[in-house]
Structure 1
Amino acid sequence: MTADPGRPWVSARLRILLWLVVVMAVALTAVAAATRSVLLRDVDHRINNLLAQEAEEFANLARNGVDPRTGQPFTDPDPLLRLFLERQYADPDEELLGLVGRSGQAPARKMQFREGRVDHPLAEDSRSLNTIFESANATGTLHRRQGEVRWAKVEIKASAGYPPAAFVVAFHPEGEQQKAGNVFTMLIAISGVALLMTTGIGWVVAGRILRPVRLVRTTAAQLTEQDLTQRIPVQGRDDIAALAETFNAMLDRLERAFAAQREFVDDAGHELRTPITIVRGHLELMGDDPVEREETVRIVMEELDRMSRIVEDLLLLAKAERPDFVTPEPVQLAELTADVFVKARALGDRDWKLAGTVDAEGFLDSQRITQAMVQLAQNAVQHTVPGQRVSIGSRARTDGIELFVADTGPGIQPQDHEVIFERFRRGTARRGSRATGAGLGLAIVKAIAEGHGGRVELRTTEGGGATFVLVLHEPREVKDLKEAVR
């Protein structure tokens, strides 16, 4: 999937920074808003407590107080209100009012508040005083054009001959609310500064974190098929360092794969070039003599057959990379070993021996295993002479099974033990002059063994010769599948 050339390119560093800024801005705004909400709720709580406290103090005086002039309980509301107001001291933004009713007129008022601390005092608003005095509620909120007023009222039960009266405590919350607003504004300003600092720090940190990623991109851009030597320096032990290590490991595999591919192409070209050269040379020199023409045709057909086998082997090795190269199923190992033995006996005049079978059931691809075993038997025939013994058998292991082909030929030099399983490699020392082929047979055997999750081993035959062993394990998933099939 390629990037849309019409869309603007935005770096990962910038996207990380933008997300960080957005998240920080939302978080800081939420903190400031929550702080403002808490402060306003605290203001409401303090105002309610203040109104309730003032009202309760006046109610106690009205119930239990005595007139200092007479020494008797208050009957006239006027001295009661005067005495209470004289003893109190209004808080900032607070008004203490005594209202005495007058027939057909606004109530007479006696008030106490701090001059200069209350804008548009309630005491100077006759309409609002009438509204509160006539209200049936003990508390309330008065919304005026000049500002909100929170109030509480204690009515004084009028004695005979005295007008109705009430004590009112009023509070103007604008000042306290403004303080909460100032705190909110200050928090927003601090958040803005913190956001700017976070942006700068985030830009630097994101750059340092993404530096290995940029190195990955730069290194990938510099890679070519001819130069796969670039590597990324690994620093630290975090996820980015793990990414760099993984990328370096991938480059190692790519370098080995490209080297193997080039070697494979060179070897394949060399192996195919030889029969092509032979065919072309004989065709160019072919005369009119029927015997010569028949010999030329025979040689050409043999070389074409050899090229066909090379191509088929190459296709088989290419298919070995696919997941469906082998299709395992339950197989009786004794029967499979006997079938391989019967087929191998037709390969040449040798002293063939069935060296034991394992009476067990294996989970493998019988056709591929037969192909590998026959290839090993053919290899044994090529490196032995008539009459020499070639043994075929199978045996059990603690972790799987072994199928083997052992010959009594000249054996294989130690330096060739690993080389012979590579494609187009036959080793530095040939085991017999009759050996032919492109050097793909043992590579195919190795691919089949590895396709079963096993391996092929080369061992020395007792008394001389070579023993090729297919070691096939049974992974847990294979065992589970086998149980399911049963």
Structure 2
Amino acid sequence: MLRAKITLVVVAAAALAITLAAAISYRNVSDVVAEQFDRALDDRAATVVALLGASRTPPARPDTTEQLIGAEGSVRPLAPGRATLPPPESALRVARTGRSAARQDLTVDGAEYGVLTTPLPGGGAVMIAQHYAGAERIDHAFLWRIPWTTVAATALSALLSWLALDRVLRPVRRLARATRTITTTQDLTTRLPPAGRDEIGQLTRSFDAMLTALRRSRAQQQRLVQDASHELRTPLTSVRGSAELLQRGRGRLAPEDEEKILTTLVTEAAALDALVHELVDLATDRTTEEEQTEVDLHAVAEEAAERCARRTGRAVTVTAAAAVPVRARPRAVRRCVDNLLSNAVKFSPEGAPVTVHIEGPRLCVRDGGPGIASHEREAVFDRFYRGPRTQAVPGSGLGLAIVHDLVAADDGEVFVDAAPGGGAEVGFRLRPH
């Protein structure tokens, strides 16, 4: 679960940070305690020396032992009844020489003392030994509180993280529920939760855009299947009727009738083959795997004009004005120009001129046909659309739809206009390279 994993990460980070802070604090506290201990020894030694100089006995302290050390090494406690501590060699040296004070740690019967020996003006020295018990109590108390403080702080951070993550991850859970519903029901109309402005909101908007694209794709597929089934029904019905007529009238039909039926079969089969071929091209764009590159529209138009002349025997004129290279898929552009020329030749009467004109990144094909009415100019790029004036002309109504899809895939746009002198002008505009 994402919430538990993030909480564990937060708790681990908090525990590590608290442990590091406690370790650094313990070291600092130990240094402060040691500094205060040394300062207390200095203050006590100064006080004892001053009182002794005034011929007064310093008051006894329970954690401190003061004793006088003679130059010959004799030891006498300042407080009556106190046991003497064995003076270290550094203390005897100070008493003997009367020079600078000496500081040293001393362990007696398992008890640790901090010892400061200070020379006296009249000879000898005073040794101040303070027990480390107070400092050890502070040290132990600090060490005892560190684990409990760490555990309490870690538990508090875990609780706060768990509660905060519940609110932070709520949009993620809503999005996960919505996607599970879509996966289970295959209902692409399921609405996603509202998107915020953070990263989760960006993820939601990306999912919503993906769902929109899937809905559009499914709608296009369903429309393609419906339109294709409708368009395929007519040639299939004609082929089946002609075949059944040949079967029933086998040997009894006149040769000319049989020839008409066979001609119909061949014509409808050819139309059916062309329709299936265009449907496959439309449903599976084979040029989508092609990389966009620099395309010379003038060269593509010249090649397409030669191919059209070889297939149909019709001359195609190519003109150009300030042509510029475009960024597109070469095979897709060639297919678009071939389809536009096929349409122009199909709807132009024999002898009517067919022209390809290029201007900048814009290519158009002009024909001498009946033209396209203004209210039909957007519909001609729909699949299977056949205008009222072109119903009698053979064709599937998919040529311009393929052009539209190929050009749109390259971020271009298609257009239809009236050609100068009559006819139609159909073309596309692509991005300059």
Listed as ranges, the matches of 1:185-334 within 5 Å are 185-186=144-145, 188-223=147-182, 227-234=187-194, 236-287=196-247, 288-289=250-251, 291=255, 294-320=259-285, 323-325=288-290, 328-329=293-294, 331=296, 333-334=297-298
Q: Please list the CA deviations of residues 145-196 of structure 1 after superposition, one character each: whole Å capped at 9, or x if unmatched.
A: 533222222356997xxxxx43222222331342244345445444443433
Distance in 2 separating the partners of 1:131 and 1:182: 34
Q: Does 1:172 align with 2:136?
A: no
Distance in 2 separating the partners of 1:462 and 1:92: 119
Listed as ranges, the matches of 1:75-474 within 5 Å are 82-83=52-53, 86=56, 88=58, 93-100=63-70, 107-111=74-78, 124=83, 126=85, 128-129=86-87, 133=91, 138-144=102-108, 146-155=110-119, 165-186=124-145, 188-223=147-182, 227-234=187-194, 236-287=196-247, 288-289=250-251, 291=255, 294-320=259-285, 323-325=288-290, 328-329=293-294, 331=296, 333-345=297-309, 353-358=317-322, 367-396=331-360, 401-422=361-382, 424-426=383-385, 429-474=387-432
AA at the equivalent of 1:173: Y
Partner SS for 1:324: coil
CA contact (8 A) 1:24 1:195 kept: yes
CA contact (8 A) 1:141 1:149 kept: yes
Partner SS for 1:124: coil
Q: Which runs of 5+ in 2 are unaligned?
A: 95-100
Q: Please list the CA deviations of residues 11-44 of structure 1 after superposition, one character each: whole Å capped at 9, or x if unmatched.
A: 1111111112222222222222322221111011
AA at the equivalent of 2:180: A
AA at the equivalent of 2:126: F
CA contact (8 A) 1:82 1:110 kept: no
CA contact (8 A) 2:294 2:325 kept: no
Distance in 2 separating the partners of 1:102 and 1:201: 70
Q: CA deviation at 1:138?
A: 2.2
Q: Compared with structure 1, are the counterparts of its residues 416 and 220 closer, same or farther at alpha carbon in structure 2 (3 Å cutoff)? A: farther
Distance in 2 separating the partners of 1:262 and 1:383: 30
AA at the equivalent of 2:212: D
CA contact (8 A) 2:117 2:127 kept: yes
CA contact (8 A) 2:116 2:127 kept: yes
Distance in 1 separating the partners of 2:219 and 2:345: 33
Q: Does 1:16 align with 2:6?
A: yes
AA at the equivalent of 2:160: I
Distance in 1 separating the partners of 2:321 and 2:54: 117
CA contact (8 A) 1:404 1:470 kept: yes
AA at the equivalent of 1:108: V
Q: Compared with structure 1, are the counterparts of its residues 453 and 251 closer, same or farther at alpha carbon in structure 2 (3 Å cutoff)? A: closer
**2:98 paired residue number:** none
**2:97 paired residue number:** none
Distance in 2 separating the partners of 1:278 and 1:334: 42
Q: Give the paired residue count.
A: 421
- TM-score (ref. length: structure 1): 0.73
Identical pairs, percent: 25
**1:34 paired residue number:** 24
Partner SS for 2:78: strand
- TM-score (ref. length: structure 2): 0.81
**1:47 paired residue number:** 37
Distance in 1 separating the partners of 2:398 and 2:39: 97
Distance in 1 separating the partners of 2:373 and 2:423: 10
Distance in 2 separating the partners of 1:298 and 1:271: 20
Q: CA deviation at 1:359?
A: 5.8
Distance in 1 separating the partners of 2:402 and 2:162: 55
RMSD: 3.7
AA at the equivalent of 2:70: V
AA at the equivalent of 1:426: Y
Q: CA deviation at 1:275?
A: 3.2
Partner SS for 2:290: coil
Q: Please list the CA deviations of residues 328-371 of structure 1 after superposition, one character each: whole Å capped at 9, or x if unmatched.
A: 3564x444433433444466687855444546555655554333
Q: Compared with structure 1, are the counterparts of its residues 414 and 334 closer, same or farther at alpha carbon in structure 2 (3 Å cutoff)? A: closer
Distance in 2 separating the partners of 1:125 and 1:295: 140
